[in-house]
Structure 1
Amino acid sequence: MSHSFKESLLYVENLSIAYDDKIIIKDVSLIEKDVVRAGVENTGQTIAIVGRSGRGKSTFFKALTGLVQPKTGKILIKDFASQEENAAKPVKEGDIGFVDQKYTLFRHKTVTQTLQFALRKSTLSQTEKDKKIKDYIHKWGLETCVDKYPNELSGGQRQRTAIIEQLFSSDHFIIMDEPFSGLDVGNIEEVKKAFDLLSETSEYNTLLFSTHDIKLAIELSQSIYVIGHPTINGDKKDYGTVVAKYDLREMGLAWNEYGEDHRKLYKEIVHQMMIS
């Protein structure tokens, strides 16, 4: 399917994170750009981060969300507040939303109150905020939930509310850590629907998620990064870095039905994970 790349949305260069003197991840670099597809109005970016346990995926996510400071390197995201073309800014806490596996929400706030609170720092007028909330509630199928509290919502409703809340706070960037872990088939389908909604809501929406389910990573993402322990000059290191990247758009696999070429990629990714 025809597509083109526009400006950079996320730029990571030579990122290293250490706790005390122990290096957890090192020399992590990636660039993700806005993608436009011919004949498709909105196409957000969906990026999978895979790797064996203990390879630094969670630490990488903490760095992206501004929760830990890099030892070296930089993380830049598109500056939507700037009128300049290709304007970027260093990431800080709150710029990239994080949705945990429990879809944590304020227990004492209704869905509407939660979304109003998420927009508290927005420069929109109150009328514009109300319209934005109404539009999202309609598009994300939450009309019956506006006055409900988290304990009255289904898992899927909680997740959608948590995603919108983070989107409102962070302007287009979302991280989901293992969103499919421990879910049954029905709930996996709910998460897939949320991914589709994220992508369809804005071409700038950029979702990064980690998963141990490589088939789902291939099915849902347009680019996949494998984080593992690199082998340099025959010496296997004990820190994580990007050991392989697969751009499914350039490979002709993105947005297509899962088939033989996807299965070959599955084997290749599993092999990369096993050796790193």
Structure 2
Amino acid sequence: MSIELRSRRGAVGTAWHAVALRDGAERLLGPARVSRGKADARAGRVQWLDVDAGAARGDVLDADGELYHARLELPAFLEGDRRVVLQVARAHPELPARLAAGEYPQQIEAELAASEISLLPRDAMELSHDCSCLDWPGPCRHVSALLYVLVEAVDEQPLLLLTLRGLALEDLVAPARTEPDAAAPDDSAAPQPAVTPPAATADETPAAPAPPAAFDPARTEPARLVEVVGEEVAAVIHRFYTDPS
């Protein structure tokens, strides 16, 4: 199924962001490729369009009936630029709805420009191309035809600029900040305070320690000690505790 341009004559693209994309790419293509590519796009020679992070692709039918695979590249943002874009976008909570409705506010580009960043190609050097027709150094008419199909797609869906730069609509919505719940203290693991007996009051007399138990000489009976210290020593101990002299 081929794609036919809505524009049948004159310039392609009406919204400011589509015009900016077209102008930047036309500086890369050159006048000869511009006219041939536009004619091929209007003739419906581009069979399909796929837009992904960093590139737009499509098959283009040549006049001789051969299909060629064309590719136009616009680099996805590096992490630092991505953070700036998200910071600017999240300062405008209405932006996702406006993009989804087909509108890309120029104010966003103006704020990004302060950091020398743009969703659009800042110059022709930021764009690159490739085609299976091997028309070197190019760009060939197939790439040019793909460009005009992309311009009209971006005209209607500026979200495709986000896609090319490696972003999605969901990325523009600031995530809800959630703080992790503080862990409840584990009472079983906490050190337990030493239990101190209550001090005696002024009206109480501390209890006297119990006297040591009286020694029982029967514990020195040789029969009880033999297994421990032997017969001779057991007899000596017995006499020590039982002989009154």
TM-score normalised according to structure 2 size: 0.21
Bigger radius of gyration among the two: 2
TM-score normalised according to structure 1 size: 0.19
Structure number with higher strand proportion: 1
